[in-house]
Structure 1
Amino acid sequence: MSSKIYFNTKGRVNLRRRAINVATRAYHRIAPSHARKTARNLLLTPERYSANTQAPEGLQQKVIESSEGSIMTYSLGSGPTWLLGHGWSGSASQFYTLMERIAASGFTALAFDNPAHGASEGRHGHLPGFVKGLDAVLEQAVEDLAGVVAHSMGCTMMLESKHAKLAGVPMLLVAPILNYKDNLYRVVEGSGFSLRLFQDVIRAVEQQYQYPIDRVDSHQRLAGHQGHIVIVHDTGDRFALFEQSKKANALPGVSLIETSGLGHNRILKSESLLRAFDALSNQQTPETY
């Protein structure tokens, strides 16, 4: 259900959205505690990504433990590691095409399912949990980090982590959400869901993890990162706003590759992304992309 909320970006007023707004506001007013519990399950339970994607030959799976439960990791190849992080309602399998390219280039491609996603444990997903899962993978499964690749909310996760192993490494950000709070409120409001009830859910997560949403500032993180960052973003992306990536392109050390007609997810299997990895992993300058 949550994906139908978060990925509904049509933005037009309709009877269904009005009905959701009236129903959730009334529920919150009549039974606030029960409404908050129900809303937490509805809003923070991602759909488990399922696609008939053939796993690359030689792919190895390993479970690591984190404060968010067991995390499933997937590795391919050998050599220094490129770490890959997916977004909301995604999974490591979305990276299989890129993982094969990474392995063929003399690196280890290491992807993982975020908490409550794929084959990892957990029911509720959120940014603080994503960051804790990422830090556990970095701590337990990565020795020689060559760079990172992330998609959608996974980009926010990578930028938010303060793990020492991420300092100065190249980053390849695909369809990043660089206005995390505004984007979150935009899509929830567009669904018709009660914003006051949504705010109650957010406050509960903030208090549990001591992680205020207002502190999330991806543009500031981009500006402070010492390694080269390449953003690959489709101009027609309806979920992650392309204008935010264009704004980030003005920052020192950030390069933007624009695509067209690929949307938010198909871009992960695009030739543009594969070429961007080739260039970044070979430490080529932005002018060569």
Structure 2
Amino acid sequence: MPSAGRLALASAAAAVRTAGRISPSLGAAAALPLFMNTRPRMAVRAEEMPVIEAAERSELPVPGVRGRGGHAVAYSWPAPQTAREDAAASGTVLLVHGWGGRAAQFAPLVRELRAVGWGVVAFDAPAHGSAPGRGTFIVDFHAAMAELQRRHGAFRAVVGHSFGAFAALIAVAEGLETSRIIAISSPSDSDFLVRSFAAAVGLGKASTEALRDRFARRLFPGETGLYERYSAARHPLPDGVRLLLVHDDGDRTIPLSESERLRAAHSAWLDDQVELMTTTGLGHQRILSAPPVLEAVTAFVSG
């Protein structure tokens, strides 16, 4: 039997399609709240709890999706004392979860990174994990990353998953300081996010275009070129930044072609500083805890 959450989602999608058949404008109006939905919140699994409980917690102020204010929840795991005494191993790695995710998903990676001497910071974005709120978007992810950089300085590396990887790529292109970025299961741009959602709920072409316009007007009023600005495939990373893309060839949420597009774009800008690691059988979520991925990410951070 389908879960209650899946039944509710299917019912909402059916209502969106019905509205779209009446008019594209009504379809877009019905679709936008569903597109921005962050529920249900992901729970912390038992095996992740010891890592989360060991973290130092704090609040991160963010502007809120419409500038009304809010905060994210930050988690910090300082480098082991032995690593702090070794200048060659000093540094902090930032982890950025995806849409509907939370920092606890990175528990296996936190263990691996700290085992080889790195400090780690992460956060639950507004309306995710333990953070309050009913909505969020990329500006809040960027505000949280900027505040963590203010506290910890330039990052050794930034690791993002899904929407978090996309947000991290844009942040680094716009000035977040790091020498390495690992983008796991990343979309290439915000236009993909809108169009893939529209396809998933069955919106027609006219309603999809209306949704793109409504989304831009509602969240970024007065801003032009939204889809050009928020495209990780259109904006190069700074010189000297190395990029590792990790993607499963069977990912049903974000297809491998998105990372292939990112590799093609960034290879033209970063010469030999771009790598793509492809996995099989891990999907969109298990990829975060798979030993080969953990080993590759840790090696890339440390190399």
Q: Structure 1: which 5+ runs fail to align?
A: 9-14, 284-289
Is the 8 Å Cα contact of residues 61 and 75 (structure 1) preserved in structure 2? yes
* Structure-2 residue corresponding to 1:22: 18
Mean CA deviation greater in 148-157 or 115-124: 115-124
* Structure-1 residue corresponding to 2:118: 107
* Structure-1 residue corresponding to 2:180: 170
* Structure-2 residue corresponding to 1:149: 159
1:244 deviates by: 2.6
Q: TM-score, normalised by structure 1?
A: 0.80
Is the 8 Å Cα contact of residues 62 and 140 (structure 2) preserved in structure 1? no
SS in 2 for 1:166: coil
Is the 8 Å Cα contact of residues 154 and 178 (structure 2) preserved in structure 1? no
1:157 deviates by: 0.7
Q: TM-score, normalised by structure 2?
A: 0.77
Q: For residues 40-88 of structure 1, what are the alpha-carbon distances to aligned partners after superposition, in whole Å with 9 as ceiling and x for unaligned?
A: 4332120221242323162221112222211101112324110000111
* Structure-1 residue corresponding to 2:301: 281
Q: Is residue 124 of structure 2 the alignment partner of residue 116 of structure 1?
A: no
Distance of 1:258 and 1:218 partners within structure 2: 19
Is the 8 Å Cα contact of residues 77 and 106 (structure 1) preserved in structure 2? no
**Aligned residue among 209, 213, 225 for 2:227:** 213
Within 5 Å, give how 1:1-289 maps onto structure 2: 20-26=16-22, 36=29, 39-47=31-39, 48-52=41-45, 53-56=48-51, 58-68=54-64, 69-78=70-79, 79-139=90-150, 141-161=151-171, 166-193=176-203, 194-195=207-208, 196-197=210-211, 199-207=213-221, 212-222=226-236, 224=238, 226-250=240-264, 251=267, 252=271, 253-283=273-303
Distance of 1:158 and 1:55 partners within structure 2: 26
* Structure-1 residue corresponding to 2:82: none
1:74 aligned partner, one-letter code: Y
2:216 aligned partner, one-letter code: I
Mean CA deviation greater in 239-248 or 218-227: 218-227
1:130 deviates by: 2.3
Is the 8 Å Cα contact of residues 234 and 267 (structure 1) preserved in structure 2? yes
1:180 deviates by: 3.1
1:248 aligned partner, one-letter code: L
Change (3 A) 1:207 1:4: farther
Is the 8 Å Cα contact of residues 38 and 135 (structure 2) preserved in structure 1? yes
Distance of 1:114 and 1:208 partners within structure 2: 25
Q: Structure 2: which 5+ runs fail to align?
A: 65-69, 80-89
1:125 deviates by: 2.1
Is the 8 Å Cα contact of residues 238 and 263 (structure 1) preserved in structure 2? yes
Distance of 1:247 and 1:107 partners within structure 2: 31
Calculate percent identity across the aligned residue pairs.
Answer: 25
1:131 deviates by: 2.1
1:188 aligned partner, one-letter code: A
Change (3 A) 1:225 1:259: farther
SS in 2 for 1:177: coil
1:134 aligned partner, one-letter code: M
SS in 2 for 1:220: coil
